[in-house]
Structure 1
């Protein structure tokens, strides 16, 4: 198996190259076929001996084949264990990169949400102050109409309105600078 990372789509593709495409597998199968073919060619054609019916001879032949094939199979297994380790190492590397990318994206999203929250908070303050200004203007208008309160109270309220208007303008400037 091979791992390919597609740079355009930033996705990982695992390409299976097939069981018989690996060199150790080919060597082990080729060695086994060569041994069996060599045995039959040597004894049947060169020596002119037919296959024996004695099980002891076949047992010795099996021991011989096992002794030759066992190291070949062990090498093939070792190769596949190393390949599996390399595959898992590459997979872990890609997983770490994806986790890092996810963490960075999460941090970016958190910053955006905090910025939006601050904007909403400032807009809410502005709206609250605008409601307060309208209420104060209404109170000033009622006091001027009724002439029950002295003129100094209306100028004091007007000072509050001016302060709130200035504060609203400051908040609007802060929001526009974001």
Structure 2
């Protein structure tokens, strides 16, 4: 834009110089023609004669100067229109760039929010799955001990241990709320579905960013 403005200013100065040169050349030609025609005559001492000479030069040069001024005015108007169009184009590009930057920032913020929610669900699911695994392992170990205890006649004692096992390995979420095994499985299913939806949403947002960047490159 700066280079274009410099080129336009240089072109304007060149055009003005050419017009002035033409006007000066015409003035010199008119003066030369007058002198060549009347050089043999003595210099007049009458105001009327000098007035006639002024009318001669004015009658020829005034239209030339007026036409030159009109040419310069038209050239100036054209240059101003061109500069205005260039300025509008630059402002439009800047506005589009600013809008694109805001849009990219908004998309990035949404992606970050989606990513945080995905991570939250992943941590919760991992926590619940670890509890289920620990409960299953403890139940298997206790069942093996119970069967061994019944074989040696201590079945009543192992029934008491079962009750203690249920209390020791109760399931709960990240907030500490106790949950049944069925509730944990339902929550895992719902969180898995939600994570799938969030991943699809994140992929769509990332595609929008790639498309915007590819259009701008």
Question: Normalised by the size of structure 1, how large is the TM-score?
Answer: 0.68
Higher helix content, 1 or 2: 2
| Distance across 2 between alignment mates of 1:66 and 1:140 | 109
Aligned match of 1:133: 125
- The Cα shift of 1:141 comes to 7.3
For residues 12-66 of structure 1, give each alpha carbon's deviation from its aligned partner in whole angstroms, at most 9, with x where no partner exists: 34242623324xx34422221122212222222xxx22434x3724454234323
| Distance across 2 between alignment mates of 1:68 and 1:132 | 97
Q: Which runs of 5+ in 1 are unaligned?
A: 6-10
Q: What count of residue pairs does the alignment treat as equivalent? A: 163
| Distance across 2 between alignment mates of 1:127 and 1:142 | 22
Q: For 1:169, which of 169, 173, 196 is the aligned residue?
A: 196
Q: Which structure has more RCO (C-alpha within 8 Å, separation ≥ 6)? A: 2
Aligned match of 1:113: 105
Aligned match of 1:8: none
- The Cα shift of 1:78 comes to 0.8
- The Cα shift of 1:81 comes to 0.6
Q: Which runs of 5+ in 2 are unaligned?
A: 139-164, 172-178, 208-217
CA radius of gyration, larger in: 2
Alpha-carbon contact 1:143-1:154 (below 8 Å) kept: no
Aligned match of 2:29: 34
| Distance across 1 between alignment mates of 2:132 and 2:99 | 49
